[in-house]
A and B are shown apart, each in its own frame.
Chain A
Amino acid sequence: DVKVTQSSRYLVKRTGEKVFLECVQDMDHENMFWYRQDPGLGLRLIYFSYDVKMKEKGDIPEGYSVSREKKERFSLILESASTNQTSMYLCASSSTGTPQYFGPGTRLTVL
């Protein structure tokens, strides 16, 4: 059974904190993605990675960075969390260039 897992379902952080969101897939997929989902805005791409140590900016990369040291793991980093980064964060993986399988999501609240 296909699995994409995320490190936390719910996370509460304070403004200015460094935040790590982790995503792991067990399908040996080359491609992994980070999206944020906000009501009325759909899913917006933050970053994606097509191979280990490779990354590409998506539509809204400002305030975020990513790390992919191993094929199965893709991390999203908020260097200094701000209240406008309160959102649902979804990770996805794929054997193609578009997301096939999503993780359960992490609802991040920044106070």
Chain B
Amino acid sequence: GENVEQHPSTLSVQEGDSAVIKCTYSDSASNYFPWYKQELGKRPQLIIDIRSNVGEKKDQRIAVTLNKTAKHFSLHITETQPEDSAVYFCAARGNEKLTFGTGTRLTIIP
């Protein structure tokens, strides 16, 4: 089955700086890659996704990139703000099931 690895497990960045979270996947047939944000004590929320026929997608301060050849995808957050502090999960859909990464705890330092 699909295996998704996510790095780093924790990340601290100064407010206003950029943050990058990286994931790799094993199943070359995977075709859909969503990202979820989970604030402390709250439910996960889908924040952005990318499909395998696209290399990059942006939504305001967040962007995702996908490299199908290398089987990795990344989440980029620019101009970070305190409300960006959360756990972020990547995921990959292969064989009709979604497999999650183990999460990255992002802390924004004021």
> Bound state CA distance, A42 and B96, in angstroms?
18
- Closest Cβ of chain B to A111, distance in Å, is 23
> Bound state CA distance, A40 and B5, in angstroms?
12
CB pair A59 B1 closer than 8 Å:
yes
> Bound state CA distance, A97 and B6, in angstroms?
22
Most B C-beta atoms less than 10 A away, residue of A43, A101, A103: A43
Known: A90-B43, A102-B45. A42 touches B98 (CB 8 A): no
Report which of B1, B9, B32 forms a contact with A98, defined as CB distance below 8 A.
B32
Known: A59-B97, A98-B32. A40 touches B43 (CB 8 A): no
Q: A-B pairs with CB below 8 Å: how many? A: 40
Give chain B residues whose Cβ lies under 8 Å from the Cβ of A97. 93, 96, 98
The interface bits of chain A over 83-111 (1 if a CB of B lies within 8 angstroms of the residue's CB, else 0) are: 00000001000000111111111000000
Interface residues in A, total, Cβ within 8 A: 18
Interface residues in B, total, Cβ within 8 A: 21
> Bound state CA distance, A94 and B45, in angstroms?
12
Q: Is B89 at the interface (CB under 8 A from chain A)? A: yes
- Closest Cβ of chain A to B45, distance in Å, is 7
CB pair A42 B97 closer than 8 Å:
no
- Closest Cβ of chain B to A78, distance in Å, is 21
Known: A42-B89, A42-B103, A43-B89. A102 touches B97 (CB 8 A): no
Q: Is A45 at the interface (CB under 8 A from chain B)? A: yes
Most A C-beta atoms less than 10 A away, residue of B9, B42, B98, B102: B98
CB pair A40 B46 closer than 8 Å:
no
A binding-site residues for B, Cβ under 8 Å: 40-45, 58-59, 90, 97-105
Further pairs besides A44-B100, A90-B43, A104-B42: 4, Cβ < 8 Å: A59-B97, A100-B46, A101-B46, A102-B45
B binding-site residues for A, Cβ under 8 Å: 1, 6, 9, 32, 34, 42-46, 89, 91, 93, 96-103
Q: What are 10 A-B contacts defined by CB distance under 8 Å?
A: A42-B6, A42-B101, A42-B102, A43-B44, A43-B100, A97-B93, A97-B96, A98-B98, A100-B46, A104-B43
